[in-house]
Amino acid sequence: MTTTHFDIAVIGGGPGGYVAAIRAAQLGLNAVVVEREHLGGICLNWGCIPTKALLRAAELRHSIDEMKAFGITVGDVSVDVPALVRRSRKVAARLSSGVTHLLKKNKVPVIEATATIGKKLQNGRELLLSDGTTISAGHVIIATGARARSLPGIEPDGTAILTYREAMVPQDMPKSLIIVGSGAIGAEFASFYNDMGVAVTLIEALDRILPVEDEELSAFVAKSFEKRGMKIMTNVKLKSVSAGPNGVTAILAGDQPKLQADRMILAVGITGNVKNLGVDGTAVKIDRGHIVTDGFGATDEPGIYAIGDVTGPPWLAHKASHEGIICVEKIAGVGDGHAIADGAVPGCIYCRPQVASVGMTEAAAKKAGHKINVGQFLFAGNGKAIALGDDAGFVKTIFDAATGELLGAHMVGPEVTELIQGFAIARRLEATEAELMSTIFPHPTLSEAMHESVLDAYGRAIHY
């Protein structure tokens, strides 16, 4: 049994953990990553990246249907599902090996094991690894991520009732599919499977799909999904689900008729991986499946930190990475000493149409007592969007009337996931409407819709 001491040990090699380890190495700290399965975590292997590969296939498939309008004739079209999935896996594998390389380059060792936090030492903490070895570290960062939540009495079986994990490696396409939950994961799978010709029913317990987004975005996406032939049911609660040879039967609460489909995807949120960490008996607090931390990842137990999905929503890779960085910088005593500000984390959903947002929704801004100026600009008035043949959607901006602070930006439509960063930067730099108005946006680009939305908030939109 060997004992090795590190400055920082990171449990979990996802976008929170590996980024934290690299930042630690940059700061001259001696860091180690303990990862049980794949470097890159869920994001790289079973989340963000492979689903983007699938959605790209869906987008290409969809654009073939549009070819005629562009004067291009296309012959017979077929989808090779296994090939499509193989590509998605290849993309994930390439990036995972990229992370391996990055850690190696930064001289961060990776131990393939699970870890349990052990006893307090004079110079930190002991970590007991599943391979039988023990290491120790001055600071332990828990970055174990999260896993799919299931509903009571509804257990995914991996063949008929799926979680995201099986849903992204289908061997064939079902004829019909029920998706439970209409957050980012549910909406993306709904979009993908619908483009693949599957009859999709999307059900949501709350009163609208994409319930954390601005209401106008939810309504727009719902309308667009329905136009594509999806069935959307809101205010629906599952009573029970049974899987048989003929597929899945869902009994709904109330007097709603039962639903039947070949398969079901459960996308009802995720819960933190907080078991077997060895934090029982320490001051680390766990609240509803997530570790409680301050703005810098510190738990109530000195020397133990947590970042990313295991600390709670929003469950986003980029939030985890940033938390990893500020946690390590705080440990190292560098950085500007600011925790992640409210509303600083942008969110992106890659369904068709894409959704992206940062900051407060209109309802949240009003509830917080802001007097607001709201601007909106439709992509139907944007030259580039019209040329692309993809002009459905809009950009909505919300400003504090008193200070001109950009409180929130909400976008739906072509490539908005690539555009939102403009507003995220504006918020970070504390730009007001004046700077955004006087910034020159290149023509012809989709980003002009962002400019017009800002102008519209002050009654100055030019093309409206």
Partner 1 sequence: MSVNVTMPALSPTMTSGTVAKWTIAIGDMVQSGDVIAEIETDKATMEVEAIEDGVVAQILVAAGTENVAVGTVIAVLAEDGESIDEVASAAMVPPQIEDTAQSTAQSGAKTPTQPAAEGVASNTEAKPIGTVTPPEKTARIFATPLARRIAAERGIALDQITGSGPHGRILRRDVESAPAPAMHAPENYSPANRAAPLSASSMNVPAVAGASELVVNSQMRKSIASRLQESKQQAPHFYLTIDCHIDDLLAARRRLNEKAPEGVKISLNDLVIRAAAMALIDVPDANVSWEGDHTRRFQHADIAMAVAIDGGLVTPIIWAAEAMGLAALSKTTADLAERARHGQLRAADYSGGSFTISNLGMYGIREFAAVINPPQAAILAVGAGEQRPVVVDGALAVATVMTVSLSADHRAVDGAVGARWLQSFKGFIEHPVTMLL
Q: Alpha helices, DSSP H only, in 308-372?
A: 317-332, 362-367
Site string for partner 1, 188-227 (x = CB under 8 A): ----------------------------------------
Among 435, 441, 444, 463, binds partner 1 (CB under 8 A): 435
| Cis preceding linkage at 444, omega within 30 | yes
**Stretch of 263-271, 331-339, 377-385, 410-418 contacting partner 1, by CB under 8 A:** 331-339
Which position among 405, 415, 452, 456 is part of the footprint of partner 1 (CB under 8 A)? 405
* CA atoms of 302 and 110, how far apart (whole Å): 24
The verdict on 229 binding partner 1 (CB under 8 A) reads: no
Residue 241 C-alpha from the chain's centroid: 27
> Applying CB under 8 A, does 440 fall inside the site for partner 1?
no
Determine the Cα–Cα distance for residues 309 and 320; give it in Å rounded to an integer. 7
Instruction: Kindly compute the dihedral angle of the four CA atoms of residues 439, 445, 446, 451, in this order, to the nearest 10 degrees.
Output: 20
Stretch that binds partner 1, among 169-177, 267-275, 374-382, 399-407 (CB under 8 A): 399-407
Should residue 431 be labelled a site residue for partner 1 when binding is judged by CB under 8 A? yes
Considering only 105, 302, 430, 462, the residue that binds partner 1 (CB under 8 A) is 430
CA separation, residue 298 to residues 14, 22, 44, 303 (Å):
19, 19, 25, 8
Residue 429 CB, nearest distance to partner 1 (Å)?
A: 6
From 432, 441, 444, 464, residue interacting with partner 1 (rule: CB under 8 A)? 432
Question: How is residue 436 annotated by DSSP?
Answer: H
Q: Using the rule CB under 8 A, which residue among 245, 429, 440, 442 binds partner 1? A: 429
Which C-beta is closer to partner 1: that of 274 or that of 431? 431
Quick one: 287 or 430, whose CB is closer to partner 1?
430
Q: At residue 455, what are phi and psi to the nearest 5 degrees?
A: -60, -40
**Looking only at residues 332 through 351 of this chain, which bind partner 1 when binding is defined by CB under 8 A?**
336-338
Q: How far is the CB of 28 from partner 1 (least distance, A)?
A: 21
Q: From the candidates 290, 443, 451, 463, give the one annotated as an active-site residue.
A: 443
Using DSSP, how many helices (H) and how many strands (E) does the chain show?
13, 24
How far is the C-alpha of 30 from the C-alpha of 124, rounded, in Å?
A: 14
Only one residue has tokens 């802001």, namely 370
Residue bearing tokens 């139907």: 380
The residue with tokens 């639903």 is: 259
Question: Does 403 participate in binding partner 1 (rule CB under 8 A)?
Answer: yes
405/452 with CB nearer partner 1? 405
- Say whether 370 is catalytic: no
Q: Give just the sign of the alpha carbon dihedral 210, 215, 220, 225.
A: positive
Give the position of tokens 């120790």.
Answer: 136
With contacts defined by CB under 8 A, how many residues of the chain interact with partner 1? 13
Collect all residues with Cβ–Cβ distance below 8 Å to 149 and sequence separation of at least 6: 268, 269, 270, 271
Nearest distance, CB of residue 370 and partner 1, angstroms = 14
Give the shortest CB-289-to-partner 1 separation in angstroms.
31
Q: What residues line the site for partner 1 (CB under 8 A)?
A: 336-338, 402-405, 429-432, 434-435
Catalytic machinery residues? 443
